[in-house]
Amino acid sequence: MLQLMKTLVVGANGKIGRIYCRIAAERGIPSRALLRDPEQRTYFESIGVETALGDLEDEFASTLEGCDRVVFTAGSGGKTGGDKTLLIDLYGAIRVIEACEATGVDHFVMVSAMRAEQPLAGPPAIRHYLVAKKLADERLRASPVAHTILRPGLLTDEPASGRIRVDVAPGSGHKISRENVALCILASFDQPSARGQTVDLLDGDEPIATLFAARDCS
Amino acid sequence: MLQLMKTLVVGANGKIGRIYCRIAAERGIPSRALLRDPEQRTYFESIGVETALGDLEDEFASTLEGCDRVVFTAGSGGKTGGDKTLLIDLYGAIRVIEACEATGVDHFVMVSAMRAEQPLAGPPAIRHYLVAKKLADERLRASPVAHTILRPGLLTDEPASGRIRVDVAPGSGHKISRENVALCILASFDQPSARGQTVDLLDGDEPIATLFAARDCS
């Protein structure tokens, strides 16, 4: 039986989500964009990506039907308050993970954030955001669903270089282009050794194609 | 060996915390008030309660030394944003639970909130708060530390009636006085059958003294 791999993109209308959907469509990789607002459909129709309407603060579980992969790149963004960080970035993520557990999703890729593991060491303005990402990551790690956690640094709109680094030692830079992050999501789904891994991501010199292959899976 | 039971009160300077400390002092039950600001000491000195300085967003673990009981009634309050709800009500609670696990605290009483288990069914303005309480409660339930979770309804400044109800069916009222909540915290520590229980709390007709004794412990 031919298995069709379709990926539900949660947060599809965000910057990384839109880039991911475009690149996936260019490569013929099936995606479904989870959208909250019907007016967001135009872009996805223009790039040939299927859409489904749902709301992380309400109902969305039916949009998982027929999907065996999920990427979570939803974020309430900097324009809303900490209440939405709690409701979307954290509780939205938990509810999506629970729905994936209920429906038997095969692989979940989480777009987290660099240094999420130590929220109180982060800049005061984003500490609450780092707490949300940390707790969502921990919930995913405790799940039986296979998962990969990507933790990019400061996001830029530069075009993809196709090359990254996972060494976040001080002095190694702290930026990564969103296009590179989208390519790393695709690599996560492609490479069996990506399962169970948490990796920091910065622009660098390592080809994305060898991101997980080159890493110790322990 | 005589075992001295001392309770660390986290959120001591909040309304419930201050009432709890006063009643405990009147009854000769040892407490230590965890305070963030030295200026908050005056009240506790006036009622004869020991204080310790610590900050849930920074260091506080040393304030647990010599305490075998903890009550968590810290809340960022309505005046701050959702970022503080994440940092205090949720992550502060998690860090206190972790510290209790590390130091072998015997009993943890959490002051949660009615209907925290279904945050998205709550009023929109407090949904993020209910998420924080739900996730903190879940973390406590997963802990090896013995615990009691109290979930009061809408808090009032009425004097204690000494009588409550745990039936939150619609139409049964939705308020409880903070003094009654403080008495329920004391009852939680007193009654062995309180361990492992989660109870909703409203003003009612049931004597607080029989709150846990009368309930099924399953």
pLDDT value of residue B137: 98
**DSSP 8-state symbol, B3:** P
Q: Enumerate residues 6+ apart whose C-beta is below 8 A from B156.
A: B175, B176, B177, B178, B203
Contacts 24+ apart (CB under 8 A), A181-185: A181/A16, A181/A19, A181/A111, A181/A150, A181/A152, A181/A155, A182/A16, A182/A19, A182/A20, A182/A23, A183/A23, A183/A208, A184/A150, A184/A152, A184/A208, A184/A211, A185/A16, A185/A20, A185/A71, A185/A73, A185/A109, A185/A111, A185/A150
Give the mean model confidence (pLDDT) for residues A3-19. 93
Which of A58, A94, A132 has its CB closest to that of B86? A132
pLDDT at A215 (0 to 100): 57
Q: Write the DSSP assignment of B49-94 as a string of letters.
A: -EEEE--TTS--GGGGTT--EEEE-----TTS-HHHIIIIIIHHHH
Nearest to A70 by CA among A103, A36, A46, A37: A103
Would you please indicate which residues of A are annotated as catalytic (active-site) residues?
Answer: 129
Which whole number is the average pLDDT over A105-130?
Answer: 96
Q: Which of A81, A84, A86 sits opposite B132 (nearest CB)?
A: A86
Q: What is the DSSP letter of A39?
A: G
Confidence of residue B171 (pLDDT cuts 50, 70, 90): low
What span, in angstroms and rounded, lies between the C-alpha atoms of A164 and A207? 6
* Model pLDDT for residues A61-88, shown as the tens digit of each residue: 999 999 999 999 999 876 788 999 999 9
A53 CA: distance to closest CA in chain B (Å): 18
Report the pLDDT value the prediction gives residue A152, as an integer from 0 to 100: 97
Which tokens in the block code for residue A75?
Answer: 């974020």
* pLDDT, tens only, B142-151: 999 999 999 9
Strands (E), A142-203: 147-152, 154-156, 163-165, 175-177, 198-203
DSSP E strands: which ranges in chain A?
A: 7-10, 31-35, 50-53, 69-72, 107-111, 147-152, 154-156, 163-165, 175-177, 198-203, 206-207
For residue A177, the SS3 value is: strand
DSSP secondary structure code for residue B4 in this structure = P
- By Cβ distance, the residue of A86, A119, A128 closest to B131 is A86
What distance, in Å, lies between the first and last C-alpha atoms of chain B? 32
Q: Which residues of B touch A (CB under 8 A)?
A: 57-58, 81-87, 90-91, 94, 119-120, 127-128, 131-132, 135
Measure Cα distances from B80 to A81, B15, B54 in Å: 11, 16, 19
Which residues from B are below 8 Å from A128, CB to CB? 82-84, 86-87
Rounded mean pLDDT of A164-169? 86
Q: What is the Cα–Cα distance from A85 to A87, expressed in whole angstroms?
A: 6
Res. B79 pLDDT band, cuts 50 70 90: confident
Give the model's confidence band at B202: pLDDT under 50 very low, under 70 low, under 90 confident, else very high: very high
pLDDT digits (tens, 9 = 90+) for B33-74: 999 999 999 999 999 999 999 999 999 999 999 999 999 999
Q: What percent of chain A clears pLDDT 90, i.e. is strictly above it?
A: 87
B55, B79, B83, B141: which to substitute to probe chain A, counting the most A Cβ within 10 Å?
B83
The continuous run of DSSP H or E covering B151 comes out as strand B147-152
**H helix intervals, A123-203:** 127-141, 178-190
In this structure, of A13-22, A77-86, A118-127, A180-189, the range with the lowest mean pLDDT score is A77-86
Distance (Å, rounded) from C-alpha B57 to C-alpha A28?
47
More confident: A180 or A3? A180
Looking at residues A131-152, what average pLDDT do you find?
A: 98
Per-residue pLDDT, averaged over B173-197, amounts to 96
Contact call for A128 and B87, based on CB within 8 A = yes
**A–B interface: beta-carbon pairs under 8 A:** 60
> What is the ipTM score, two decimals?
0.91
More confident site: A218 or B40: B40
Distance of alpha carbon B78 from the chain centroid = 17
In Å, how far are B98, B193, B195 from B217, measured between CA atoms? 25, 7, 9
CA–CA separation, B26 and A12 (whole Å) = 58
Q: For residue A188, which of A39, A35, A69, A56 has the smallest C-alpha distance?
A: A69
Computed over every residue of chain A, the mean pLDDT equals 93
Q: Which residues of B touch A131 (CB under 8 A)?
A: 86-87, 90-91
Separation of alpha carbons B34 and A201, rounded Å:
39
Summarised one tens digit per residue, pLDDT across range A24-69 is: 999 999 999 999 999 999 999 999 999 999 999 999 999 999 999 9
Sign of CA pseudo-dihedral A179, A181, A184, A186? negative
CB contact under 8 A, A83 and B135: no
Confidence of residue A217 (pLDDT cuts 50, 70, 90): very low
Residue B217 has pLDDT above 50, yes or no: no
Please say if the pLDDT value at position B128 is more than 50. Answer: yes
B86-113 confidence digits (pLDDT tens):
999 999 999 999 999 999 999 999 999 9
